[in-house]
Amino acid sequence: MPLYLGLDSSTQSLSAIVLDIGDGKRRVVFEDSLSFDETFPDYGTRHGVLPGDDPLVAVSSPLMWAAALDEMMSRVSRAGLDLGRLAAVSGSAQQHGSVYLNAGAARALASLDPGRPLVDQVRPMLSRPVSPIWMDSSTGAECRQIASAVGGDTVLAQHTGSRAFERFTGPQIRKFAQREPDAYAATSRIHLVSSFLASLLAGSDAPVDPGDGSGMNLMDLETGTWWGPAMDATAPGLRDKLPKIAPASAIVGPLAAYWTKRYGFPAARVVVWSGDNPCSLIGTGLVREGRLAVSLGTSDTVFGLMREPRVDPTGTGHVFGSPTGEFMGLTCFKNGSLARERIRDKWHLSWDEFSGILRSTPPGNGGRVLLPWFEPEITPAVTEPGVRRCGLAEDDRDGNVRGVIEAQMTSMALHSRWMGVDVDTIHATGGAAANREILQVMADVFDADVYQFEVGNSASLGAALRAAQADAAVRGPAATWDEVVRELAEPVTTSRIAPVPERVAVYREFARTYAACEAEALGRVSVR
């Protein structure tokens, strides 16, 4: 009976999950997670981001991600699992981030030495020591230049699934090519975080999947190929620097000798990696249209499967590829868990105390609103960070606790309307989805039943399930996606949190107040 490993390299941590699937059994046999800041203090990251002076810039260390992969694979190898049964490995990674490799990287990848730590062998491969990540919002000018070169944001969105976004890889590449032309010229391959880590596992140049490729403003969504006008608008000679695009179920190759010799892994299949949101789509069992998932992590995201790519006319959301070969709609909010923590920490609260305040205060906060834009916000687009309050005192502890959660949920509900899903059920995931008081506000604001999951990390679960799906397809016959997610990625029936009708009515009114406050803060007359 095969084992499947799913890894998730997120903003702040690397997680792993191992599934044992076969003979009617489907269970999790291993789960672990390591925090980048705590495990690798020498890199100096804070919440997984390297410190810097410009609040619009967010970069991290690809070497740290490689070191984390090495450490996690070592832990998996020592976990007492019957490693010989490991059939396939896949992964999930924070989306949009890019890793820049030089001309020597291909050879170095093919000859990784099991006798030396991975990180020492990755260092000479890099043509850029840092990786811009999804929290970066410093490429406003590059976004405007790319959009205008292809005929405007609407044209760009029609082809790539999104208008130009600061964190997307294309604008980031353009900034690098313009500011550091020599380093750009010395770059032979630009990987996403996902394809970089898959390359390290396979010891060869891994492709990008359509799910993560659609987070670049470079891929034609319908054909799943790089879109010429976007490449031309982004940077010179880009076509040769981009990896191939392959389906999420493609096999990159067997695990490199580095892993088999150093840690005793078998030559398991390395399946193409994808982004954390496409992987979470699988890990929350959303393989059919009509339901939404809300992920409460470093970023908060709302997403759901789409059979046809319906692009957001308001320019807020994205259409990405789905690992099922279809599409997914997604809206991303940058001020997620870090904003919740900022409010909690300001009053030195435990999460229990935070929940207690949500339980004991009235829904709707008396019409007072907090806009938690501690960092520049993606949705709605806010480049000048700063918390804004409408009618709420800065020192009102309970009002601010309620305020941050109500604003996040209301913003998610308003800005995901473009997906056109008449939502009656939400699959909740991510760290804060363990908190039932937060989920109660979600249920009341969305007027929908909210469910929790047995496995909290839906991204690594989704990656492991994708590994199982791809491996089964090679062995044939391929399983349906309903079969792939069965039992493991189904919501816990008894976890249902139902909306309370009186509160739903309060939040209907509150949504109008929130929208007016948001519009005023954005200097608009009304919210689009």
- Cα 177 from Cα 296, distance rounded (Å): 34
Q: According to the binding rule CB under 6 A, does residue 60 interact with ligand XUL?
A: no
- In the complex, minimum distance from the CB of residue 431 to ligand XUL, in angstroms, rounded to a whole number: 12
- Cα 420 from Cα 418, distance rounded (Å): 5
Three-state SS letters, 47-102 = CCECCCCCCCCCEECHHHHHHHHHHHHHHHHCCCCCHHHEEEEEEEECCCCEEEEC
Task: Rank residues 217 and 277 by Cβ distance to ligand XUL and give the closer one.
Answer: 277
Q: According to the binding rule CB under 6 A, does residue 134 interact with ligand XUL?
A: yes
Which residue from 3, 173, 296, 332 is in contact with ligand XUL, where contact means CB under 6 A? 332
Task: Rank residues 11 and 416 by Cβ distance to ligand XUL and give the closer one.
Answer: 11
- In the complex, minimum distance from the CB of residue 353 to ligand XUL, in angstroms, rounded to a whole number: 28
Nearest CA among 249, 199, 185, 222 for reference residue 4: 249
Q: According to the binding rule CB under 6 A, does residue 94 interact with ligand XUL?
A: yes
- Cα 120 from Cα 106, distance rounded (Å): 16
| CA end-to-end span of the chain | 52
- Cα 329 from Cα 111, distance rounded (Å): 40
Nearest CA among 10, 64, 7, 49 for reference residue 32: 7
Q: Which residue stretch of 90-98, 101-109, 264-272, 391-399 sits at the interface with ligand XUL (rule: CB under 6 A)? A: 90-98
Tell how far CA 378 is from the center of its chain: 14
Which residue from 12, 60, 158, 277 is in contact with ligand XUL, where contact means CB under 6 A? 277
- In the complex, minimum distance from the CB of residue 303 to ligand XUL, in angstroms, rounded to a whole number: 9
Q: According to the binding rule CB under 6 A, does residue 98 interact with ligand XUL?
A: no
Task: Rank residues 134 and 354 by Cβ distance to ligand XUL and give the closer one.
Answer: 134
Task: Rank residues 332 and 467 by Cβ distance to ligand XUL and give the closer one.
Answer: 332
Q: According to the binding rule CB under 6 A, does residue 430 interact with ligand XUL?
A: no
- In the complex, minimum distance from the CB of residue 164 to ligand XUL, in angstroms, rounded to a whole number: 14
Q: According to the binding rule CB under 6 A, does residue 121 interact with ligand XUL?
A: no
The burial class, CB within 10 Å (0-12 / 13-18 / 19+), for 46 is: exposed
- In the complex, minimum distance from the CB of residue 11 to ligand XUL, in angstroms, rounded to a whole number: 5
Side chain identity, residue 117: P
Task: Rank residues 10 and 322 by Cβ distance to ligand XUL and give the closer one.
Answer: 10
Q: Which residue stretch of 238-246, 269-277, 411-419, 487-495 sits at the interface with ligand XUL (rule: CB under 6 A)? A: 269-277
Supply the DSSP symbol for 499: P
- Cα 503 from Cα 490, distance rounded (Å): 28
Q: According to the binding rule CB under 6 A, does residue 137 interact with ligand XUL?
A: no
Supply the DSSP symbol for 206: P
- x/- mask, ligand XUL, residues 178-217, rule CB under 6 A, reads -------------------------------------x--
Which residue from 121, 194, 299, 411 is in contact with ligand XUL, where contact means CB under 6 A? 299
CA angle (481 as vertex; 476, 484 as ends), nearest 5: 75
- In the complex, minimum distance from the CB of residue 477 to ligand XUL, in angstroms, rounded to a whole number: 33
With contact defined as beta carbons under 8 Å apart, do 79 and 30 qualify? yes
For 386, phi and psi rounded to 5 degrees? 145, 135
Q: According to the binding rule CB under 6 A, does residue 11 interact with ligand XUL?
A: yes
Q: Which residue stretch of 16-24, 52-60, 274-282, 401-409 sits at the interface with ligand XUL (rule: CB under 6 A)? A: 274-282
The count of residues interacting with ligand XUL (CB under 6 A) is: 14
Q: According to the binding rule CB under 6 A, does residue 301 interact with ligand XUL?
A: yes
With contact defined as beta carbons under 8 Å apart, do 168 and 135 qualify? no
Residues that bind ligand XUL (CB under 6 A): 10-11, 94-96, 134, 167, 215, 275-277, 299, 301, 332
